Amino acid sequence: MAIIKPLKPIIYNKEKVDISKVIMPPYDIIKEEEIEKYYKKNEYNIIRIDKGIEYEKDNDKSNKYTRAKEFLDLWLKKKILIRSEKESIFIYTQEYLLPDKTKKEMLGFFAAVKLEEFEKKIILPHEKTHAAAKEDRLNLMRQVNSNTSPVLALYFDKGKKIDSILRHYIKIEKPIFDFYDENHIHYRLWEFSHEKPVNKIIDLFKEKQLFIADGHHRYETAINYRNEMRKKLNTDKEMLYDYILMCLISMEHSGVSILPTHRIFMNFKYDDIPDSEKINKYFEVKEIKDIIALKIKMLRYPNKKSIGVVFKNKYYQLNLKEEEYKEILSKETCIPEYYFLNVCILHNLLLKQILNLTEEEILKDISYTQDIDEAVDSVLKNNARCAFLLKPSTVDEVRIISENSLIMPQKSTYFLPKLGTGLIINPLFS
């Protein structure tokens, strides 16, 4: 199934830079107003390569993509960035904060993974991609001929065969990077080149499927880039660009989290939940007197199908009546598991079928947050009309949706941690 191999990446030279000052979060979660912060943090911050600034005078010959190549070439020349001497996989741990400020740690490893079209069902997506984002990434890859940030992918490791190898190694060896960022988040990276255990991991992956958690745009862009290079070089010979940089994490043992994405409506057709026969048919409607109690209920029992609703002076918990809901799914085209996604229960059942809102009305003034306090405060302390609190999707739901070649609705999953960009760059030519 999945083919993985060690890589010889480009990494920062810790003798020349403070690693904590040159990494950043994934490019697609950095807001435009935050870019300058990373530019100021350090002159060698990876943002200059992975998410450069656009200027009014930019043109086809001088733009953020050509500047990315100039920075990469210059930093290699100055040995700010250096090429690893041996092929390795790179074990990675990262602490991260949940919205309630609880700390967790994720364990995974970086490797080169052979690109496969989704229809082969070896590497599976769960989200829809957008053309503009892929064009941006392709323009960057054409200039730097590298993966400048990794894809995050999940795999099953029920017997802990891979997990035990990784954890044994990090107990006995020192990391090449070990640092804290400005938020006191701990990052560690080990270079792992021991032939026998690395080959064991490679062999174990030959029977595994991979499920993309974050980085769908990067993955599809890498396939487009590979196809361009094959045509340009007129070769089907296996090359470095046939592979992509991935951080691989086990679904069961890695410490990864999926957060719910709550919905906030600045304007909303209703100022209370209507007491209708239809809503009572499909939901047990409970009015909750205390907003803290509602938040606690939404944070407990993550597998329970339940929606929290916040108005200015009214709070509700809507518990799905699953058997009644199943009755209307027999005529639907997708598998039942799709319609039992929390986002589908909210959008398809509650908002569209019961409250009769159109897609345009739903998306007109909607915003999103993973922070339940922010969602609640947007209504109680600010000017939002209504907020819907959701429970998270599960790893099993991601797997089932992916295996059935379906795409989850927008904003169904938010994986944590968000990997540090800049720890590893994967060159696509020797």
Q: How do residues 348-380 score in pLDDT, each as one tens digit?
A: 999 999 999 998 899 888 999 999 999 999 999
Query: Stretch 12-17: mean pLDDT, rounded?
Result: 97
Q: How do residues 57-87 score in pLDDT, each as one tens digit?
A: 999 999 999 999 999 999 999 999 999 999 9
Question: Residue 224: its pLDDT value, please?
Answer: 97
In this structure, are residues 22 and 420 in contact, taking their beta carbons and an 8 Å threshold?
no
Exposure class string for 62-73: b at 16+ Cβ within 10 A, else e: ebbbbbbbebbe
Q: Which residues pair with 180 in a beta bridge?
A: 186
Q: Which long-range contacts (CB under 8 A, 24 or more apart) does 236-241 make?
A: 239/428, 239/429, 240/112, 240/427, 240/428, 240/429, 240/430, 241/145, 241/428, 241/429
Q: How do residues 127-153 score in pLDDT, each as one tens digit?
A: 888 888 999 999 999 999 999 999 999
Q: Which two tokens stand for residue 110?
A: 């970086």
In this structure, are residues 334 and 406 in contact, taking their beta carbons and an 8 Å threshold?
yes
Q: How do residues 203-220 score in pLDDT, each as one tens digit?
A: 999 999 999 999 999 999
Distance CA 362, CA 351 (A): 8
Give the H or E element holding residue 17: none
Distance CA 22, CA 30 (A): 15
Mean pLDDT: which of 28-37, 301-310, 372-381 is highest?
A: 372-381
Question: Residue 381: its pLDDT value, please?
Answer: 95
pTM: 0.92
253 vs 430: which has the higher pLDDT: 253
Q: E strands, 156-240, where?
A: 177-180, 186-192, 210-214
Question: Residue 130: its pLDDT value, please?
Answer: 84
Distance CA 255, CA 151 (A): 17
The alpha-helical segments, DSSP class H, found in 11-63 are 35-41, 47-50
Average pLDDT, the chain: 95
Q: Which long-range contacts (CB under 8 A, 24 or more apart) does 332-336 make?
A: 334/406, 335/400, 335/404, 335/406
> Please, which residues have CB within 8 angstroms of residue 354's CB and are 6 or more apart in sequence?
276, 278, 279, 282
Domains in the chain: boundaries = 4-257+416-427, 261-391
Strands 257-259 and 414-416: antiparallel
Dihedral sign for Cα 61, 65, 67, 71, please.
negative
91 vs 128: which has the higher pLDDT: 91
Query: Stretch 388-408: mean pLDDT, rounded?
Result: 92
In this structure, are residues 212 and 152 in contact, taking their beta carbons and an 8 Å threshold?
yes
Report whether pLDDT(183) > 90.
Answer: no
**pLDDT band of 345, cuts 50, 70, 90:** very high
